[in-house]
Amino acid sequence: MSKKKFKFDFWSGVTLAIMAVFIIFLIYPLLSLVVQAFKDPGSESFTLANFSKFFSKKYYYTTMINSFKVTICVTVLAILIGAPLAYIMKTMKIRGKAVLEILIMISMLSPPFIGAYSWVLLSGRNGVLTRFLTNVLGIQNPPSIYGFGGILLVFTLKLFPFIYLYVGGALKKVDVALGEAAESLGCSGIKKVFTLILPLVLPSLLAGGLLVFMNSLADFGTPMLIGEGFRTMPVIIYDEYISEMGGQANFASALSTMMIIFTAGLFLIQKYIVNKKSFTMSSMRPIEAKKVKGMKNILAHLFVYFVVFLAIIPQITVMFTSFLKTKGTQFVGGSAFSSATYSFDSYKKIFEKMKTPIINTFTFGLIAIIIIIIIGMLGAYVTVRKKNIFTNILDTVTMFPYIIPGSVLGITLLVTFSKGSLPLGGTAIIIIVAFVIRRLPYTLRSSAAILYQLSPSVEEASISLGASPVKTFFKVTTRMMLPGVFAGAIMSWITVITELSSSIMLYVTKTQTLSVAIFTEVLRASYGTAAALSTILTLTTVISLLIFFKFSGSKEVSM
Amino acid sequence: MSVQIHVENVIKKYGDNVIIPNLSVDIENGELFTLLGPSGCGKTTLLRMIAGFNSIEGGQIKFNNDVINDLPAHKRNIGMVFQSYAIFPHLTVRQNVEYGMKMRKVKKTIMKKKVDDILHVVRIDTYQNRLPERLSGGQQQRVALARAIVIEPTVLLMDEPLSNLDAKLRIEMRSAIKDIQKKVGITTVYVTHDQEEALAISDRIAVMKDGVIQQVGKPFEIYLRPKNIFVASFIGHSNVFKATIEVLDKKVYVKFENGFKVEMTNLVDTVVNGQEVKVSVRPEEFTIGENGFKGTITSSTFLGKYVNYTVNFNQNIIEELEGNIEFTQDLNTFSKIFEVGGSIGLELNLNKINVYTADGQTSLIKGVN
Ligand SMILES: Nc1ncnc2c1ncn2[C@@H]1O[C@H](COP(=O)(O)OP(=O)(O)O)[C@@H](O)[C@H]1O
Ligand SMILES: [Mg+2]
């Protein structure tokens, strides 16, 4: 309708409504955050003091160095583990592959801080492994889980599945013929991997690497629990924010602004590289897993089993611990595992005293997921089928949350909505808003992807048969979009119920969620209840994941 | 109730890109009208303007006397059959066919009867409770047709409905479509780039090129008397010769570059002595004889009823670069098959051949333009 004037219809209404949600709950808060960052806490005048304060004190700027140190090391390690793992799993026959893949997914999707917490149970000061090493083997000062090394371990084990997933996905698109062609040209073995396979999967490797980078940079729970002296930026943002409580959080805002600038910059660089290097692959004959014999086979199995075992340890530990008998906050028998007695004490306790977080998690989560599905479907439709300048902007804006660390989002929402005309601080609404904003992209992406595959002619057929375009959307389009929407919604759901970094900023006692409750219980060293809560959360995640596998008929998720 | 469709001075642009500069055509009540042309010439664009899926940048489209330019697609009461079938994947065959009637809130009892009837007419009643994914291409196309027709649309629009089918099914479905269309008596606009299909199925054909209609006519008119060289070459094959008009004693001759000369009695009166022309001859419009063109057979293809030859001339008498022409020999009338490498003499069937101006734009045959 190039000549016609802009017509206000249902879809422009939808575009505007979604845009309004994002302007109110994301753009405006972010802008006010940036404004706060440049204001003097006392006089309200504009200043760079908040930034110079950061760079002039070692106490502050080391957190940035620490953050980068951890993030870069984690990314490298995750690639070194995830990429070979993907290559082995896709090219060799590994026993129990299906189960292993599910375990990898579970470790990826289970709540991030549970990893940290269970490693504390294992090799923290009073951990079973620590005791075993010191008491039984007589090793003094066994390696500590606290500090840099611990964070590295936990992050790497938690995040290598991203690399595995991305590289595995790319490997599936490599045609066997390419490998055969390389071999016919005299290139085989390791040389083939580095000259042919690696360049082919490089864009996916970069995309996965970015995800690892972003996640480890933004994660708050792990360094908070086990960082001790080793403080990273999200931790200091949280601390400063808490200590500035009541004020305008100018310093915390400045820190948050810096984080967003990093992540946005990284995101753009990655996009640029991927765009430049991108090529499409389609394979008629995907790589097949071959049976390998001898030493190679044994080593491959050892590697795969060892990595997956390490990755799944936290889940096992937590479930096991949840059944230990406790007294007060302590496990009976001194420490976990050794001469332990088993009971349902922890579960009894949480069902007596901690019902609220469980109920909250499910009610907030369900409300959020319903809103996510509605916005996701409508938003995907306008951005795919009604392309114009507004929907293009919408498409970009709804992807912002990918690059905004959860704790930063939490702070911005709180700073903006704690007072003023829309006082939402301490309400369930603000937590649900954070859930929706942060986890919408999964559903939106996945809905848009399926819409691109659906031929518009089916919708036109419906219109030609007399259904109005809006009616067609609800009667036909939504039905055909369902598989994509569902796949995305499960990912949104799992990440909503395990969300910590934004809700830790936004909760009050009555709006505690499971993740927040676990986190505070761990901080209080009430490990038994924390374990029981974690088990509930982990089981919910696993069941959701299994439902996803059942309905999507696939064994993979896309993040 | 079926209608006439009047397309009047219609313009279509995408941005600054003019796809259809100014197109007018009238489609009669109840006829099967085909838009035929090479890929990218704007057939789909025009069809979708009639359907209401494309905006109209100028001119108007009328159903009978009603201008429908601003009527939204879902209110135009059209039946549309898509190249991709566009069957609703989540509905059974029967539910697909019922869809349009439900939109129109047709009474259950009436709907049941109509749906039963149409399922029978298109011969898919046995699959009515299946989901479409379990149907073959031909069956899906029948569902699409039933779904479009059952709502008794004012016009039926079909965009390359057979192009996804294999050759045999294509021929079967094209007579099915024609039969059903005649039975229902609905004005139909049919889009295809396949000239053979167009000739077989249509009441009338509009041949399009670059958004402009080149010729409108019945299939035999278009095949036998193409209005210009484009139509002559697009519909079937044509060998184009360079020639000159010679007027001698009030008789008009066409003289070819090799000196061969024939008298034409059906040319327009405006031709003048010495005028350069193009002569278009279809492969089957040659006869074997010693007075015409002499050439060497370079290849032959045996097709059962016919043999197709390519014949090479040394002289620079034809348009095509290599100096080859195609000649089709009907084995009913002549049974000697020529060998590749042998020489052959060809004359012309003067009642059939077409003569054009030197630019190929205008036919010089009486009564064509
Ligand atoms: N949505 C569009 N935007 C821009 N150009 C288009 C669009 N749709 C079609 N065109 C152009 O219009 C011309 C005619 O296309 P179309 O009607 O599909 O051709 P046909 O159906 O005859 O093969 C083509 O050059 C095509 O590129
Ligand atoms: Mg077309």
DSSP string, B190-226: EEES-HHHHHHH-SEEEEEETTEEEEEE-HHHHHHS-
- Whose alpha carbon is nearest atom 9 of ligand 1? B45
pLDDT value at residue A328:
60
> How does DSSP classify residue A191?
H
Question: Taking the domains of chain B in order of start, what are their residue ranges?
Answer: 5-227, 230-357
CATH topology for B230-357 is OB fold (Dihydrolipoamide Acetyltransferase, E2P) (2.40.50)
- Global pTM value: 0.83
Residue A270's pLDDT band, with cuts at 50, 70 and 90, is confident
Question: Taking the domains of chain A in order of start, what are their residue ranges?
Answer: 52-321, 346-559
Question: In angstroms, rounded to a whole number, what is the distance separating the alpha carbons of residues A481 and A294?
Answer: 47
B5-227: CATH, from 2.102.10.10, 3.30.450.40, 3.40.50.300, 3.30.70.1450: 3.40.50.300
Residue B293's pLDDT band, with cuts at 50, 70 and 90, is confident
Q: Which long-range contacts (CB under 8 A, 24 or more apart) does B271-276 make?
A: B271/B245, B271/B247, B271/B364, B272/B245, B272/B247, B273/B245, B273/B246, B273/B247, B274/B244, B274/B245, B274/B246, B275/B244, B275/B245, B275/B358, B276/B242, B276/B243, B276/B244, B276/B245, B276/B358
pLDDT value at residue A221:
86
Is the Cβ pair B82, A468 closer than 8 Å?
no
Rounded to 5°, the CA angle A476-A480-A486 comes to 130
Give me chain A's average pLDDT, please: 85
pLDDT at A277 over 70: no
User: What CATH number should be reported for the domain whose range is A346-559?
Assistant: 1.10.3720.10
The alpha carbon of A513 is separated from its chain's Cα centroid by a whole number of angstroms, namely 17
Average pLDDT over residues B293-309: 86
Percent residues over pLDDT 70 in chain A: 92
Cβ pairs A/B, distance under 8 A:
77
pLDDT value at residue B355:
95
Considering only A230-244, A299-313, A335-349, B340-354, which range has the smallest mean pLDDT? A335-349
pLDDT value at residue A2:
40
Residue A123's pLDDT band, with cuts at 50, 70 and 90, is confident
Residue B47's pLDDT band, with cuts at 50, 70 and 90, is very high
Q: Which long-range contacts (CB under 8 A, 24 or more apart) does A121-125 make?
A: A121/A317, A121/A318, A121/A321, A121/A336, A121/A527, A121/A531, A122/A313, A122/A317, A124/A226
Rounded to 5°, the CA angle A496-A499-A502 comes to 115
Question: In angstroms, rounded to a whole number, what is the distance separating the alpha carbons of residues A556 and A549?
Answer: 7
* Phi, psi angles (nearest 5°) of residue B122: -90, 5
Kindly list the protein residues whose Cβ atom lies closer than 6 A to any atom of ligand 1.
B 14, 19, 37, 39-45
pLDDT at B109 over 90: yes
pLDDT value at residue A339:
52
The radius of gyration of chain B from alpha carbons, rounded to an integer in Å, stands at 25
A460 CB neighbours in chain B (<8 A) are 51, 53, 73, 80, 82, 86
Token pair, residue A532, equals 């029981």
A472 CB neighbours in chain B (<8 A) are 74
At residue B108, what is the residue type? K
Q: Which of B18, B68, B74 would you mutate first to test chain A, the one with the most A CBs within 10 A?
A: B74
Rounded to the nearest angstrom, the distance between the alpha carbon of B45 and the centre of ligand 1 is 6
Q: Which of residues 143-172 of B touch A (CB under 8 A)?
A: 144, 147-148, 151, 157
Residue B302's pLDDT band, with cuts at 50, 70 and 90, is confident
Considering only A256-260, B138-142, B337-341, which range has the smallest mean pLDDT? B337-341
Residue range A52-321 forms a domain whose CATH class is mainly alpha
Q: Half-sphere exposure of B108 toward its Cβ, with a 13 Å CA cutoff?
A: 0
pLDDT value at residue B249:
87
pLDDT value at residue A19:
94
Alpha-carbon distances of A383 from A155, A373, A506, rounded to whole Å: 35, 15, 31
Tell me: the pLDDT tens digits for A169-178?
888 877 777 7
Question: In angstroms, rounded to a whole number, what is the distance separating the alpha carbons of residues A125 and B296?
Answer: 99
Average pLDDT over residues A309-313: 92
Considering only A26-35, A130-139, A435-444, A453-462, which range has the smallest mean pLDDT? A130-139
Residue A246's pLDDT band, with cuts at 50, 70 and 90, is low
- Which residue among A1, A466, A468 sits closest to B104, beta carbon to beta carbon? A466
- Whose alpha carbon is nearest atom 26 of ligand 1? B40
Burial class (CB in 10 A: 0-12, 13-18, 19+), B16: exposed
Tell me: the pLDDT tens digits for A188-213?
777 777 777 888 888 888 888 988 99
pLDDT value at residue A1:
40
- Nearest chain A CA: its distance from B43 CA (Å): 16
Residue B14's pLDDT band, with cuts at 50, 70 and 90, is very high
pLDDT at A378 over 60: yes
Burial B93-128 (b: 16+ CB within 10 A, else e): bbbbbbbbbebeebeeeebeebbeebbebbebbebb
Residue A4's pLDDT band, with cuts at 50, 70 and 90, is very low
pLDDT at B186 over 60: yes
pLDDT at B1 over 80: no
Percent residues over pLDDT 90 in chain B: 61
Q: Ligand nearest B36 Cα, by number?
A: 1
A461 CB neighbours in chain B (<8 A) are 80, 82, 86-88, 144, 147
Average pLDDT over residues B177-204: 93
Q: Identify the CA nearest to A435 among candidates A513, A377, A533.
A: A513
At residue A228, what is the residue type? E
Q: Identify the CA nearest to A532 among candidates A313, A314, A323, A327.
A: A323
The radius of gyration of chain A from alpha carbons, rounded to an integer in Å, stands at 25
Residues with CB under 5 A from ligand 2 (ion): B 44
SS3 state of residue A525? coil
pLDDT at A377 over 80: yes
Tell me: the pLDDT tens digits for B53-82?
999 999 999 999 999 999 999 999 999 999
At residue B56, what is the residue type? I
Phi-psi region of B182 (alpha: psi -120 to 50; beta: other; left: phi over 0): alpha
Rounded to the nearest angstrom, the distance between the alpha carbon of B50 and the centre of ligand 1 is 15
Is the Cβ pair B99, A479 closer than 8 Å?
no
Token pair, residue A130, equals 């620590």
DSSP string, A6-53: PP--HHHHHHHHHHHHHIIIIIHHHHHHHHHHTB-TTT--B-SHHHHH
Query: Which residue in the block uniquely carries the two structure tokens 């109920």?
Result: A359
Quick one: closest CA in B to A463, which residue?
B74
Quick one: closest CA in B to A476, which residue?
B88
Alpha-carbon distances of A166 from A86, A171, A202, A264, rounded to whole Å: 9, 9, 10, 21
SS3 state of residue B281? strand
DSSP string, B216-244: EE-HHHHHHS-SSHHHHHHSS--EEEEEE
Burial class (CB in 10 A: 0-12, 13-18, 19+), B163: middle
- Enumerate chain A positions whose Cβ falls within 8 A of a Cβ in B: 1-4, 455, 457-458, 460-469, 471-472, 476, 479-480
pLDDT at A539 over 50: yes
Q: CB–CB of A474/B84 below 8 Å?
A: no
- Where do runs of H (alpha helix) occur along A185-282? 189-192, 198-218, 221-226, 233-243, 250-277
pLDDT value at residue B315:
67
SS3 state of residue B1? coil
Rounded to the nearest angstrom, the distance between the alpha carbon of A479 and the centre of ligand 1 is 29
Rounded to the nearest angstrom, the distance between the alpha carbon of B39 and the centre of ligand 1 is 9
Alpha-carbon distances of A122 from A187, A536, A538, B292, rounded to whole Å: 46, 20, 18, 102
Which ligand 1 atom is the nearest neighbour of the CA of B211? 14
pLDDT value at residue B368:
83
The answer to whether the A52-321 and A346-559 domains have the same CATH topology is yes
Percent residues over pLDDT 70 in chain B: 97
